[in-house]
Amino acid sequence: SEETTCAFRDPYQNDHGISESRISQENGTVLCMKGSTCYGLWEKTREGEIHLVKQGCWSHIGDPHDCHSEECIVTTTPSLVQNGTYRFCCCSTDLCNVNFTENFPPDPTDAMPFNSSHTFHRDE
Amino acid sequence: IKKRECSLHPFRVSFQQLGWDHWIIAPHSYQPQYCKGNCPRILHFGYHSPNHAIIQNFINELVDKSVPPPSCVPYEYSPISILMMEQNGTILYKVYEDMIAKSCTCR
Amino acid sequence: GKVEHTSVPPYNLSHFYQQFLFPQNECELQNFWLKFSQLKWDRWIIAPHGYNPHYCKGKCPRVVGHRYGSPVHTMVQNIIYEKLDSSVPRPP
């Protein structure tokens, strides 16, 4: 498989295992090793605001079925970390991790929608 | 390789099932695979068994049954990428070694 | 008067404490002196007469930590065996 170019954002970490020569800071892209795919991580707040957290190369896939789609689609229920506000996806075409879409089963415990009777106020 | 002989078996597990989803952000699950089955009397070349395992096999059969026969265990592993949250809240991309069994051996 | 012993002290203190230091039948390296004649290999092995191949025997503890240098896969398989599917063998 060819080398894939992915969107790259890694504000805090510098031991991501990618040589600087592969990273274009001005374009915000990275040329990943052969066989790697792209990933993106966003934070989605209760109010629906979306913040980009991390983007880069996903070099070792844990499940053969993962990361083969051409678009970055969040297909699994978010992990418990930070109350399930993170959205992760991976994909296999150039710059496919610039943004994401969601297509995962609703968490059974989230029976009530966000803006239920209890609304979040700025001063809470 | 006969059906009950030492071989690689598929298995998918989520980090929620492992109880690790409070610090592993992604992936949601992965396939560790595992090795299961009987180790044959003759450990042929395909098993990558060290000489010690061949000796131990003979000892178990011909000399002393209390010495256990070789076990069916992973031979090669491969890593997986993960996104994790450190205790100080930093989010790290890591490659965790030896997470997936790729082949089995008897030793 | 006669001294009543409420509980019988352990007959051998070192044996008594041993059980706490190193749990019984846990995975350990064992000695084994093998003579090649036992395998009938003395017909083609001139020397030595035998050697000690050692071998490992015993149960793997639930948490295979640093002491055994086990890969993370072993820890994962241990959890799978205990919590999810006991048809997946316990790491031998």
In which residue are the tokens 């229920």 written? A77
Longest dimension (CA), chain C: 75
Which band of pLDDT confidence, cut at 50, 70 and 90, is reported for residue C16?
low
Pick the more confident residue, C59 or B105: B105
Residues A29, A52 contacting (CB under 8 angstroms): no
In the prediction, which pLDDT does B2 show?
61
Mutation for C interface: B7, B8, B9, B13, most C CBs within 10 A: B13
C neighbour chains, 3+ CB pairs within 8 Å? B
Does the global pTM surpass 0.90?
A: no
Q: Is the pLDDT of residue A29 over 90?
A: yes
Is pLDDT above 90 for C9? no
Output C1-9 pairs: Cβ under 8 A, ≥24 positions apart.
none
The predicted model gives B10-35 an average pLDDT of: 96
Q: ipTM score here?
A: 0.84
Label residue A121 by pLDDT band (50, 70, 90): very low
- Tell me what pLDDT residue A18 has: 82
- Give the per-residue pLDDT at A120: 28
Q: Collect all residues of chain A within an 8 Å Cβ-Cβ radius of residue B27.
A: 62-63, 66, 76, 88, 90
The pLDDT value recorded for residue A112 is 43
Residues with Cβ within 8 Å of A82's Cβ and at least 6 positions away in sequence, in order, are: A43, B85
d(Cα B85, Cα A96) in Å, to the nearest integer?
24
Judged by average pLDDT, the poorest of A13-22, B30-39, C52-61 is: A13-22
The pLDDT value recorded for residue C12 is 61
Residue C25 has pLDDT above 50, yes or no: yes
Model confidence over C46-69: pLDDT tens digits?
999 999 999 999 888 876 666 788
Residue with tokens 């948490």: C63
- Distance (Å) from the C-alpha of residue C72 to the closest C-alpha of chain B? 6
Q: Which of B101, B94, B103, B73 is nearest to B20 (CA)?
A: B94
Q: Tell me, what's the pLDDT at A124?
A: 32
What average pLDDT does chain A have?
A: 84
C and A make contact (3+ CB pairs below 8 Å): no
pLDDT band at A115 (very low <50, low <70, confident <90, very high): very low
Chosen for mutation from C76, C78, C79, C88 (greatest number of chain B CBs closer than 10 Å) is: C76
Question: Are the beta carbons of B30 and A76 separated by less than 8 Å?
Answer: no
Cβ-proximal residues to B55 (8 Å cutoff; 6+ apart), any chain: C34, C53
3 state DSSP class of C33: coil
**Does residue A14 carry a pLDDT above 80?**
no
Residues 77-96 of B with CB under 8 A from C: 77, 96
Q: Give the mean pLDDT of B76-92.
A: 94
Confidence of residue C19 (pLDDT cuts 50, 70, 90): low
Whether pLDDT at A51 is above 90: yes
- Confidence band for A2, pLDDT divided at 50, 70 and 90: confident
User: Rounded to an integer, what is the distance from CA A41 to the centroid of its chain?
Assistant: 3
Q: What is the mean pLDDT of residues B3-12?
A: 92
